[in-house]
A and B are shown apart, each in its own frame.
Chain A
Amino acid sequence: MTKRMAKWVSWGFLCLVLLVFPRVFGIYYSNVFVAFAIFAVYSLTLNMLLGYTGLLSFGHAMFFGTGAYTTAIALDRISGMPLLPVVLAGFVASVVLALILCPIVVRVGGTAFAMLHLAFGQLMYVLALKLRFLTGGEDGVGGFPIPAFSIPGIISVDMTNPLNFFYFAIAVLGLSTWILWFFTKTPIGSIMIGIRDNPQRVEYMGFRVTHTKAIIYCLAAGFAGITGSIYALFQNLISAEDGYNIMVSFGPIMATIVGGVGSFSGPIFGSAIFSIIEELTSRYTERVELVMGLILIGVILYAPMGFMGVMGLLKQRWLAARKVKLEGAK
């Protein structure tokens, strides 16, 4: 079997697993999986900034929350809104917010970037609480109608059915993941790594660092908006606490660090680890954050490269051992 073929077989197998997942594990675990997938893709968008461009954001939740609120408010206020346009609205609203912030934030980096985002994130949180006429204040926006996925004259699928929603969410999030991955493979994807490692050198090479940063920033924001949008549809509710809270910003940072900063799939594994831990520990204790915090401390102390780093290390050792074994056999 060629490498290419093996790759296609793996993808096919993954699709098959996702297809039968709800049938095998039931609605509850399908919902857990959707929640994980939302968080994983959201973490991927943060990793575009943190892992690939070296920009640590303490306010990434503002894009997630904006996408979620846009979708929720659109469905709440405008009757007959179709499904895909409301998801797209979440994307556009977050990109617009990113464009507004771009002139300020792309000119800075490091601590300034992180703290500016902390401030903007908190501003959005307070606005969501105070603009009660629009956001519902502390209650948030909830109970809005969930439109069916429909292509006029061809198909109409009820999205209030958890099974149907599972497939829809996985499709949208899967597509988002592929686009983000594809972006990292484009020339601009290489430039963003350059910006992370040595922005001055990239500048000297003739690339416009601030412009590139702005593009990456808007892209990350837009896809964070999509995850927020799916989250709002999934929960049929969005509140300031779930959309803009500081922990919504810290969550993906933790997942990215635990999974492996810089690696594309690191945040996915980090999110999976946190989702599993949350699912298991929440049955026995309310101190889920404490357990997660301990894991983060452990990772920072003993495996700073995260899960993917450890996997890479193990792979290297295994290859080295195999090489020695093969040489010994000769």
Chain B
Amino acid sequence: MRTGRKILVVFAIFSLLLMLNLPKALAANAKYDAAGLPDMSDFDPSNPIIPTGDTIKIAIVASFSGPAAIVGEIYFISVQWAAHDINKRGGILVDGKRKKIQVIRADTQSKPAVAKKVCERMILKEHVNVLWGTNGSHIMKVINQVAKKYGVIAQCAAALSDELYDARNFTRYSFMTSFQTNQIGRAAAYYYGQIRKKEKKFYILCQDYLFGHSMAEGFKEGLKLYYPQAQLVGEDYHKLFLTDFAPYLTKIKASGAEVVYTGDWIPDAANLLVQARQAGIKLPFANIFLDEPNFLHKVGVEGTKGLLNISQFGAPNPLFKNDLQIKFYKAWNDLWKTKWKAPFNTYLFKHPLGNIGSYMFQTYWLLSVIERAGSLDPEKIIKQWEGDSYEYISGKVMTMRPVDHKAIQDLHAFEYVPPAEQKQSFNIPPYSYFTGCSNTGPISTIPAEKIMPKLDPKLKR
């Protein structure tokens, strides 16, 4: 009896500790306040309400012209949405004054030299507080260099190369809130080797620059780690903004590959998939940016079936788990249906999910950090952000590793299925993401501890 009581007391204490500490361990430092979402009906990306005067200035340093111009617009709508939301809540209290968020477009034309010049203009003439970037790790490298030179905060929300934060390139002014190439590669390998366990022959086709090579390295590392039985039957790197993929597709066809792994982003991603299907290649592509719905529609339901998208904005199925998530989704989707004009009324902008959702919530995280730092002083922002964690509306928790400023997160593998099967994920009417192409069905979680961001051992801080 006495022993039984002792066990009971120990059990009770253990349970109490568990109740007190476990939620603390799981909970983020801050989370998106979905309940406070204001009336967003006046949000129009074509005619954005941009505050001026004494504001918190964020420069979106990206391609707003040239073949990747649409990428800049994706970033703009995502960041501007978050800014508009916070502005309608009254802005952010910094240095004793409530300030609104001003988003500025800074066109790099996808050229490093232009990026440097435009970043300097943003800092020295526009006096921006944050440089937000970008498509192209080589451009992000420039942004980080300029941020370091002038002591301005940079947020790496869309460039994914690990090398940006290695011992050589690391700057304490820059924070990588996106997922990373090595992490993505290992996540894809983990999915095929530990979850799916079917295909064994892989072909790597990536863009011929830092990002593409990093993506490939990550995947090869992941295969060694999680799928040693897998076979790499080919590896190629093509020029950025290539228009003719025929030579590569011929090689893929001849290689006997069962899956093509690619890091391509649009326009390359679109051209690759469309041309592959035209060439009769029906292989699945393991990807991160082959999710642009306009070209997915061009390829159709059958052509997009079986694609595997590694997402940084995922959460386990179903997509909508509470009313606040539905409210947030509808605030966006209703405007898309009724108000927005080209290019924002196309399929690409239908859902505040995927990469758009990720860019948007990475920005919310930035704004939350500034708010909690209570200052625009870069040193205070750095102190606040290092080790910080933030919960997205989807429930996904992001943690900023202090040592190298890389975000720790779970990733999710989205398997693309025909519209009728999308209900398992899209659990509100119309019960599918799109009717004209395959999209997310089954979702697998790749736990953060299996894909911890690569840390350069030489980085001493």
Alpha-carbon distance between A241 and B136 when the two chains are bound, in angstroms: 14
Chain B residue with Cβ nearest A286: B65
In the complex, B116 has a CB within 8 A of chain A:
yes
Is the pair B145, A286 in contact by a Cβ cutoff of 8 Å? no
In the complex, B117 has a CB within 8 A of chain A:
yes
Could you say which residues of chain A place their CB within 8 Å of the CB of B213?
132, 137
Chain B residue with Cβ nearest A162: B149
Could you say which residues of chain B place their CB within 8 Å of the CB of A132?
208, 213
Could you say which residues of chain B place their CB within 8 Å of the CB of A137?
208-210, 213
Instruction: Please tell me the number of chain A residues within 8 Å of chain B, measured between CB atoms.
Output: 23
Alpha-carbon distance between A142 and B120 when the two chains are bound, in angstroms: 17
Partner of B112, one of A31, A35, A237: A237
In the complex, B113 has a CB within 8 A of chain A:
yes
Partner of A139, one of B113, B137, B149: B137
In the complex, A103 has a CB within 8 A of chain B:
no
Alpha-carbon distance between A167 and B239 when the two chains are bound, in angstroms: 38
In the complex, A12 has a CB within 8 A of chain B:
no
Is the pair B145, A236 in contact by a Cβ cutoff of 8 Å? yes
Q: Mark B93-137, 1 if CB is under 8 A from A, else 0.
A: 000000000000001010111001100110011000000000001
Which A95-130 residues sit within 8 Å CB-CB of chain B?
A: 129
In the complex, A176 has a CB within 8 A of chain B:
no
Looking at the assembled complex, report how far the CB atom of A57 sits from the nearest CB atom of chain B, in whole angstroms.
22
Is the pair A26, B124 in contact by a Cβ cutoff of 8 Å? yes
Could you say which residues of chain B place their CB within 8 Å of the CB of A286?
64-66, 107, 109
Could you say which residues of chain A place their CB within 8 Å of the CB of B64?
286
Could you say which residues of chain A place their CB within 8 Å of the CB of B65?
286-287
Looking at the assembled complex, report how far the CB atom of B142 sits from the nearest CB atom of chain A, in whole angstroms.
6
Is the pair B117, A35 in contact by a Cβ cutoff of 8 Å? yes
Point out which of A137, A138, A143, A237 has the most chain B C-beta atoms below 10 A from its C-beta. Answer: A138
Alpha-carbon distance between A129 and B212 when the two chains are bound, in angstroms: 14
In the complex, A302 has a CB within 8 A of chain B:
no
Chain B residue with Cβ nearest A76: B168
Could you say which residues of chain B place their CB within 8 Å of the CB of A35?
117
In the complex, A27 has a CB within 8 A of chain B:
yes
Known: A137-B209, A143-B141. A129 touches B239 (CB 8 A): yes
Known: A139-B209, A235-B112, A286-B64. A28 touches B138 (CB 8 A): no
Is the pair A138, B124 in contact by a Cβ cutoff of 8 Å? no
In the complex, B169 has a CB within 8 A of chain A:
yes
In the complex, B393 has a CB within 8 A of chain A:
no
- Residue pairs across A and B with CB atoms within 8 Å: the count is 68
Alpha-carbon distance between A160 and B209 when the two chains are bound, in angstroms: 27
Partner of A239, one of B107, B125, B138: B138
Is the pair B113, A237 in contact by a Cβ cutoff of 8 Å? yes
Looking at the assembled complex, report how far the CB atom of B274 sits from the nearest CB atom of chain A, in whole angstroms.
23
Partner of B138, one of A26, A31, A140: A140
Which A186-218 residues sit within 8 Å CB-CB of chain B?
A: none
Q: Mark B194-226, 1 if CB is under 8 A from A, else 0.
A: 000000000000011110010000000000000
Partner of B113, one of A26, A27, A28, A242: A242
Main secondary structure of the interface of A (DSSP, over half): helix
Looking at the assembled complex, report how far the CB atom of A28 sits from the nearest CB atom of chain B, in whole angstroms.
4
Alpha-carbon distance between A165 and B141 when the two chains are bound, in angstroms: 21
Q: Mark B126-165, 1 if CB is under 8 A from A, else 0.
A: 0000000000011001100100010000000000000000
Is the pair A140, B112 in contact by a Cβ cutoff of 8 Å? yes
Looking at the assembled complex, report how far the CB atom of B208 sits from the nearest CB atom of chain A, in whole angstroms.
6
Is the pair B145, A129 in contact by a Cβ cutoff of 8 Å? no
Chain B residue with Cβ nearest A144: B168
Looking at the assembled complex, report how far the CB atom of A61 sits from the nearest CB atom of chain B, in whole angstroms.
13
Known: A138-B209, A236-B145. A143 touches B112 (CB 8 A): no
Alpha-carbon distance between A235 and B149 when the two chains are bound, in angstroms: 12
Partner of A235, one of B113, B124, B210: B113
Is the pair B116, A237 in contact by a Cβ cutoff of 8 Å? yes
Looking at the assembled complex, report how far the CB atom of B133 sits from the nearest CB atom of chain A, in whole angstroms.
15
Chain B residue with Cβ nearest A28: B124
In the complex, B240 has a CB within 8 A of chain A:
yes
Is the pair A28, B125 in contact by a Cβ cutoff of 8 Å? yes
Partner of A160, one of B109, B137, B138, B149: B149
Q: Which 10 A-B pairs have the closest CB atoms?
A: A286-B65, A138-B209, A28-B124, A139-B138, A139-B210, A242-B113, A139-B209, A239-B112, A237-B112, A138-B208
Residues of A within 8 A of B (CB): 26-28, 31, 35, 129, 132, 136-140, 142-143, 160, 235-237, 239, 241-242, 286-287
Residues of B within 8 A of A (CB): 64-66, 107, 109, 111-113, 116-117, 120-121, 124-125, 137-138, 141-142, 145, 149, 168-169, 207-210, 213, 239-240
In the complex, 30 of the A-B residue pairs with CB atoms within 8 angstroms, ordered by the A residue number, are: A27-B124, A28-B120, A28-B121, A28-B124, A31-B117, A35-B117, A129-B239, A132-B208, A132-B213, A138-B138, A138-B207, A138-B209, A138-B210, A138-B239, A138-B240, A139-B137, A139-B141, A142-B138, A142-B142, A143-B141, A143-B145, A143-B169, A235-B116, A237-B116, A237-B141, A239-B113, A241-B111, A242-B113, A286-B107, A287-B65
Q: A27-B120, A132-B208, A237-B112 are in contact. List 5 more A-B contacts (CB 8 A).
A: A28-B125, A138-B240, A139-B210, A237-B116, A237-B145
